[in-house]
Amino acid sequence: MSERIGFIGLGHMGSAMAGSLLKAGYSMIAYNRTAAKIEPLLAQGASQASQPAEVVTPGGIVITMVAHDRALETIVAADGFLEKLGQNGVHLSMSTVSPATARAMSELHAKHGSTYVAAPVFGRPDAAALQKLVVCVAGASAAKERVQPILRALGQTVFDFGEEAAMANVVKVCGNFMIAAAMEAMAEAMTLVEKNQIDRSAFIDMLSQTIFAAPIYQNYGKMIAEKRYMPAGFELVLGLKDINLVLDTAEQSKVPMPFASLLHDRFMTNVAKGRGDIDWSGIAQGISEDAGL
């Protein structure tokens, strides 16, 4: 690949995604606040930056995969980042952030001649490592066309939601709400069958092979049935962040979402009990406790 990519954010997802791009033949310069996380990528041929702006090639492509809105805002505000990206540069933001932040980022980049493209993903780190993510993309057409090879190197499918970057983030936060809702429903049902002396795994195996034959029920269902919440593919505290994004977006859109409020309390209770670092499917642990298990 002729174009060098700047990559910022090497958590569980970011590291797997960056590794997939290196396998696909891209050259890369990477930055992470905790520098030690870059070491595996250096062995695969990446270069290391000491600050965010160092990953930027004028007029080039920078990918960010960070935990929350504040981290994204800090990166973009870093000395020289927007100025160096400049005319024709593309910031491909693959993080789960609020639609409001995506709108603000789009306007800010446009003032510096660059383009902000939102491309949040569905999938856990193992899917990222296998280049099987589901990508939601939105932004200016020319910039989306330019990053298509990158998206295809990361995901098995790419879905386009138009010219406004924020639309991809609306889709993402709504999708994460649906995943959390499914986990809540599965956990409640499995707790009920367990209290009636029925094997949790047998129950979800039947349903995930028949009327709920979908990856969310098959994968998270197995984890919840086995009460296996470590190691975390996606931490519970980040699940709370995403439910807050859903509720914020709903409030701005004047859409009541009572079940999202229930999920917020479920996540918050588990975080308050010191479980923020377990997998977000670990909300099921609180349900078991409520039932005396």
State the catalytic residues: 172
CB 89 within 8 A of CB 114: yes
Q: Roughly how many angstroms between the first and final C-alpha of the chain, as a whole number?
A: 54
CA distances to 62, 75, 157 from 110, in Å: 15, 16, 28
| Nearest in space to 26 (alpha carbons), one of 58, 57, 66, 67 | 57
Helix axis angle, 258-272 to 283-290, nearest 10°: 90
Q: What does the block give as tokens for 11?
A: 């958590």
List CB contacts of 64: < 8 A, sequence separation 6 or more: 8, 9, 72, 75, 91, 92, 93, 94, 95
What span, in angstroms and rounded, lies between the C-alpha atoms of 7 and 23?
Answer: 14
